[in-house]
Structure 1
Amino acid sequence: MTFKICTIGELIVDFLAKGQNQRFDQTGEFIGPFPSGAPAVFADQVAKLGFSVIFFSCVGKDQFGKMCVNRLKKDGVIIDGITFHRKANTGSAFVSYKSNTESDFIFNIPNSACGLLSFNHIDENLLKDCNHLHVMGSSLYSFRAIDAMRKAIDIIKNKGGTISFDPNLRKEMFEIQEMEQSFDYIMEYTDIFLLSTNEVSYFAHNTGESEQQTMQALLKKGIKHIVVKKGVNGANYYGRDEQNKFTMMNIDGLRIHSVDPTGAGDCFDATFVSLMLAGYPVRIALKYANASGALAVSKKGAMEGTSTLIELEKVLSRSTNNI
C-alpha cells in the first residue's frame, strides 16, 4: 500500500548532561547539540524505515537549525514544510538523567522559532498527497500550534485519511490552558492511539479504572487501535477483531542496555504506525516497534538510535527477549 505520513511540531537541539543525577541549579558538563523534538524523531524513524514522510516545523536561521534540517534531509524526510525564521532562534532542551530510564528537562520552546509555528505554516498543497497525520501531545505547546494541528487534522480527515495520536504528557503541558480541550478534539478523530503506561490514569480521569476498562471505553468512542507502551516490559494492544469483538494482546519487550531513553517512544510510534499503514499484521508491527524502541535507547541523542527495517530484522532474528 502506498501512503504518505505528515507530522507537525518541535524541531530542537538537545544538550545532554554528562553525569547521572546532574542538577540544573549547579554547574555541570553537557554534551551536544543533538537534533531532537518528539515529532522530528518520529519523522526521522519513518524515513529510515523507507516510508514517505513530510515534517512541518520552524527553526532559527542559525547553525542549530541548519544542522537539524540537514540531518532530517539526509535520512529521507521531506523538509519542504520547515520554515527558517530570521527573528527567532532554534529551540533547545537541556536533559538530565535521573536513571537509565528517567530524565528531567528544561525546554526552550515557546519563545523559540518552533514556538512561532502557526496555522499559516500548514501549506495545504504540501498535504495533498498525505493520507495520515501523526500528532504528538508535546507539540501542543501554544494556541498557535494547536490551531495548526487542527487545520492539518481537518485537511487529512476531509480527504478520508487517518490520525494517530501520542499524548506524550509532560508536566510543562499542564500550564497550557488550551491543551485539555485540544486533547478532546484530537481524540474524536484518532484512529491509532499510542500512550505510555504512566499515562493511563490520566485518560481514566483518575477514576481508578483498570487499564483494560479504560481502553475498552476509548474503543467505544471510535478509536480503532490502542497501544499501551511499557518499555522493557513490552506493550499491550487493544482493538477489535473482524467480528467487531474486543481483542487484547501482549508483546514481550526486548532487554537492552539503556544509554539514553529519550526518543524511544517516538521510534516505537513511527514503526508501529508505518507498518500498520503498510498492511503488516498487528502482532508483527508491535514486534518491530518494540525492537525500534529498544534500539533507540542504545545511543546518546534522541535521533541517534533511529533504525532501518534491516537493522530491526537483525535484532528480531537473534532475539530471545535479550539483545
Structure 2
Amino acid sequence: MGKLYCIGEALIDFIALQKGEQLKHVSTFEKVPGGAPANVAVAVAKYGGKSSLITKLGNDAFGDFLIDTLKHNDVEVDKILRTNEANTGLAFVSVKEDGERDFAFYRNPSADLLLTDHDIQSDWFSTGDILHFGSVDLVESPMKYAHGKAIEAVKSRGGIISFDPNIRLPLWNSPAACRDTVLAFLPLAHIVKVSDEELEFITGISDVTEAIQSLFVGDVQAVLYTQGAKGAELYTKEGRYKSSGFKVTVADTTGAGDAFMGGFLYKLLEKDVQVTNLVQLLNVHHKEILEFSNASGALTASVKGAIPAIPAKKHILTFLSTR
C-alpha cells in the first residue's frame, strides 16, 4: 500500500460553545485540532493507511498540541518543521443552527505559510503514493511554492495528486485571486473534489454537468462532486456514478468533507492505486468507495469538532452493515 502525504495547514480550531451565535457574540470556545490536510491525514491513518503531514508549526504550545494529536492518531510527523518566526495558525469557528460554519482566521502569517520549496525533498515519495492538498495554503507565500515543488516531486515518482479547493474566501485578498489560483493548480491534479457550494464559483458556469466537465483539464482524471447530506457524484471520462448520502443528526459539519476525502483516498490506497489504473479502479469499485466515503463524512458530521470526530474504521463498517 502506498502512503498519503498531505501538505498544508495544521491549526487550532476554537469552536464556539454557543451554537447559532455570530462570532462577535460568542464568549466561550473549545480548543480542537484542525486544518483540512491534517484532518485528511488523520482519517487515512485511522482507517489503517499510512499518512504523513508536510507543514510547519510554531515553537509554541499549540504546535506541541498538534504534534501530540497527530502522533496519537498515527500520522507521521517527521516532515513537520518548527519555527520561531511565526505562531501556529488559529481559526475561530461559530457553528450555526443548521450546522454550517462561520470562520475567523488568525494567521498573518502563521507558521505553515513559511514552509519553503527548499524544505521539500524529492526522495520522500514513491510510486503508489498520493499527495493531497487544498487552497487554504496557496495564498501568496513560501508555502505556495512548497506545494509546487511537492507536486512536481510526487509526479516525477509516478504518484497521484489529489486537490480539494476547500474555498475559504476570508483568507484571500479578493475572490478573483482565490479563483485564479485554484484554476492554476487544478490541471496539476489527477483527482479533484469540489462541493456544490464551490462549483459555480470556481468554474463560472451555472449548469452543473457543464461545470463539472470543464474541470477535466490537464491531468485531471476524476472529479468528486460532493453535496453534503445528499451524497456525492463521481465523474471520470468514462462514467458518472452517484452515491446517496446517509441521514444523521448533524452536530457540526467541521471536518466532514475532509473525512469524506480521507475515506475516498484510503480506499484507493487500499486497492493499490496507480496513475495508470486510477480510472479503471474507480469505474469498477465506485459503489464501495463512495459508500465508505459518505459514511466517513456523515459520522464525522454527527460529532462536534474535526479530528476528534473522525470515526474508527470499525465504526464505519458497522454503520454500513446496518444500512
TM-score normalised by length of structure 1: 0.90
Q: Is the 8 A contact 2:4 2:52 kept in 1?
A: yes
In the alignment, does 2:312 pair up with 1:308? Answer: yes
1:317 to 314, 317, 321: 321
> How far apart in 2 are the matches of 1:102 and 1:182?
25
Q: Is the 8 A contact 2:126 2:159 kept in 1?
A: no
For 1:244, the equivalent position in structure 2 comes to none
> How far apart in 1 are the matches of 2:26 and 2:252?
21
For 2:102, the equivalent position in structure 1 comes to 104
In the alignment, does 2:177 pair up with 1:185? Answer: no
> How far apart in 2 are the matches of 1:106 and 1:172?
8
Please give the root-mean-square deviation of Cα atoms over the aligned residues, in Å.
1.9
> How far apart in 1 are the matches of 2:45 and 2:79?
15
Question: 1:257-292 CA distances to partner (integer Å, 9 max, x unpaired)?
Answer: 111110000110111122123327111110000000
> How far apart in 2 are the matches of 1:55 and 1:128?
15
- Is 118-127 or 78-87 further displaced after alignment? 118-127
Q: Is the 8 A contact 1:60 1:86 kept in 2?
A: yes
For 1:155, the equivalent position in structure 2 comes to 153
Seq. identity, %: 30
> How far apart in 1 are the matches of 2:76 and 2:178?
28
Q: In the superposition, relative to structure 1, how do residues 277 and 225 fare at CA in structure 2: closer, same or farther (>3 Å)?
A: farther
For 2:276, the equivalent position in structure 1 comes to none
> How far apart in 2 are the matches of 1:226 and 1:41?
20
1:92-171 alignment, distance < 5 Å: 92-128=90-126, 131-171=129-169
Q: Is the 8 A contact 1:57 1:114 kept in 2?
A: yes
1:219 is paired with a residue of what secondary structure? coil
TM-score normalised by length of structure 2: 0.90
Name the amino acid aligned to 1:292: S
Return 5+ residue gaps in structure 1 as ranges.
242-246
Q: Is the 8 A contact 2:122 2:154 kept in 1?
A: no
CA displacement at 1:24 relative to structure 2: 2.6
1:262 to 254, 261, 265: 254
> How far apart in 1 are the matches of 2:264 and 2:256?
12
Q: Is the 8 A contact 2:113 2:141 kept in 1?
A: no
Return 5+ residue gaps in structure 2 as ranges.
272-280
- Is 217-226 or 47-56 further displaced after alignment? 217-226
1:80 is paired with a residue of what secondary structure? coil
**Equivalent residue pairs, number:** 310
CA displacement at 1:227 relative to structure 2: 1.0
Question: 1:80-134 CA distances to partner (integer Å, 9 max, x unpaired)?
Answer: 1111223422211111112233110111123222232222332334335772111
> How far apart in 2 are the matches of 1:110 and 1:5?
28
